[in-house]
């Protein structure tokens, strides 16, 4: 796919009914920072929890209205799953006017290929998480989860999130980051010079051998964070908006 003009990329907004200030921040961003661009790429964890397209909740519905409005203004919207909202399906994507992207995928910006990913698959040092990730990606596990009642799914998802938070607190910082050997394999295997991902909440511009770069998106817990790609290159934006 070739993205034309100006594109904005973000991830890890973690929208939640428990944190209305993040929702306000995200909507303000949509209203004030996007009108000059042609495409918005959301690279996962837009929502803190997603239990299925049949139960979007008030927040999910509000977000769909906002995103659809952007799509109506002619901005192309793309969504890639994160580990928190991997259950977003074609129904909600259509409702929000978003096209679903595979993880990873290569998009051409200004004729330059850029590999986009949420990033959690590359955190291979976290063996426990990778085992859980493989488990939840199984179709039968997904179906069994979606067959439960809404209340059961909410309870399960909150438990999983709390266990994940506990696991993060108890684990060495290093295993929560991407594995450098895996990153080198991704560069070598894909042939791209630029990787953009989120998930780790460690926004930074990493350069390898002066030519390759790995740009990490930031989370939206206390400020906005996004990358803009236009004909001049890639620019980091964010802070208080
Ligand atoms: Mn994530």
pLDDT in the model for residue 5:
92
Mean local confidence (pLDDT), 197-215 = 96
Q: Which single residue is written with the structure tokens 């690279």?
A: 43
Cα(200) to centroid of ligand 1, in Å? 7
Q: Which single residue is written with the structure tokens 């399960």?
A: 156
Average pLDDT taken over every residue of the chain:
96
Predicted confidence (pLDDT) per residue in 91-101, tens digit: 999 999 999 99
pLDDT band at 60 (very low <50, low <70, confident <90, very high): very high
Cα(212) to centroid of ligand 1, in Å? 23
Cα(84) to centroid of ligand 1, in Å? 6
Cα(52) to centroid of ligand 1, in Å? 17
Cα(69) to centroid of ligand 1, in Å? 26
| Cα separation, 125 vs 138, whole angstroms | 21
Cα(119) to centroid of ligand 1, in Å? 7
Mean local confidence (pLDDT), 193-219 = 96
Residue 173 vs residues 99, 110, 140, 167: alpha-carbon distances, Å = 34, 36, 33, 11
| Alpha helix positions (H), the chain | 20-32, 57-72, 90-96, 127-136, 139-147, 150-170, 180-190
Percent with pLDDT over 70 in the chain: 100
pLDDT in the model for residue 155:
93
Within 13 Å, how many C-alpha atoms sit on residue 108's CB side?
6
Cα(232) to centroid of ligand 1, in Å? 29
Cα(9) to centroid of ligand 1, in Å? 15
Cα(38) to centroid of ligand 1, in Å? 25
pLDDT in the model for residue 6:
97
Percent with pLDDT over 90 in the chain: 90
Predicted confidence (pLDDT) per residue in 40-50, tens digit: 999 999 999 99
Cα(82) to centroid of ligand 1, in Å? 5
Cis peptide bond prior to 54, omega within 30° of 0? no
Cα(199) to centroid of ligand 1, in Å? 4
CATH number of 2-239: 3.60.21.10
Cα(87) to centroid of ligand 1, in Å? 13
């Amino acid at each position: 796919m070739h993205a034309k003009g100006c594109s904005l990329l973000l991830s890890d907004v973690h929208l939640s009914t428990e944190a209305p200030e993040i929702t306000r921040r995200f909507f303000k961003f949509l209203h004030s920072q996007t009108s000059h661009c042609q495409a918005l790429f959301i690279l996962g964890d837009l929502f803190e929890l997603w239990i299925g397209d049949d139960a979007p909740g008030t927040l999910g519905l509000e977000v769909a209205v906002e995103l659809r409005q952007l799509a109506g203004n002619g901005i192309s919207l793309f969504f890639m799953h994160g580990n928190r909202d991997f259950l977003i399906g074609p129904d909600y994507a259509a409702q929000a006017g978003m096209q679903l992207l595979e993880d990873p995928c290569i998009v051409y910006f200004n004729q330059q290929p850029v590999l986009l990913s949420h990033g959690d698959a590359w955190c291979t040092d976290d063996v426990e998480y990778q085992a859980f990730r493989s488990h939840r990606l199984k179709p039968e596990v997904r179906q069994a989860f979606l067959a439960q009642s809404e209340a059961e799914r909410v309870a399960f998802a909150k438990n999983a999130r709390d266990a994940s938070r506990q696991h993060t607190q108890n684990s060495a910082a290093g295993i929560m980051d991407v594995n450098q050997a895996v990153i080198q394999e991704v560069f070598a295997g894909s042939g791209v010079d630029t990787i953009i991902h989120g998930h780790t909440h460690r926004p930074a511009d990493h350069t390898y051998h002066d030519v390759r770069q790995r740009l990490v998106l930031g989370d939206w817990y206390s400020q906005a964070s996004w990358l803009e790609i236009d004909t001049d290159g890639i620019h980091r934006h964010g802070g208080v908006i």
